[in-house]
């Protein structure tokens, strides 16, 4: 559930950012940048953001896994 909320928040932030960059894209088009160039730039930015988020998620998951082992050690078997 928390992951779903986090993904929705990131999606909303990216949507708001794209609305804020509309003027920038209009200026770039009027200066002479092609649509494919703008698309490539946006795709590259999205891929970099996704890669950083994936690396951060793996690091946090690894840290939490080690933290869980510290909090919940394996039960000792009694004979």
CB contact at 8 A, 55 and 47: no
In sequence order, the 6+-apart residues with CB closer than 8 A to the CB of 53 are: 10
Nearest-angstrom CA–CA distance, 52 and 62: 15
**pLDDT recorded at residue 67:** 85
Q: Is the pTM of this model over 0.85?
A: no
**pLDDT recorded at residue 68:** 83
Helices within 21-76 (DSSP H only): 22-31, 35-71
**pLDDT recorded at residue 79:** 58
How does pLDDT run along the chain (79 residues), one tens digit per residue? 888 888 899 889 888 988 888 998 999 999 999 999 999 998 998 899 889 989 998 999 888 888 887 888 777 766 5
Between the CA of residue 68 and those of 12, 20, 62, 72, what are the distances in Å? 32, 41, 10, 6
């Amino acid at each position: 559930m928390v992951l779903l909320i986090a993904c929705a928040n990131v999606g909303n932030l990216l949507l708001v950012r794209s609305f804020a960059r509309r003027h920038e894209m209009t200026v770039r088009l009027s200066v002479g940048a092609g649509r494919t160039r703008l698309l490539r730039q946006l795709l590259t930015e999205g891929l970099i953001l996704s890669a950083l988020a994936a690396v951060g998620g793996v690091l946090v998951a690894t840290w939490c896994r080690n933290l869980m082992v510290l909090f919940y050690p394996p039960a000792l078997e009694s004979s």
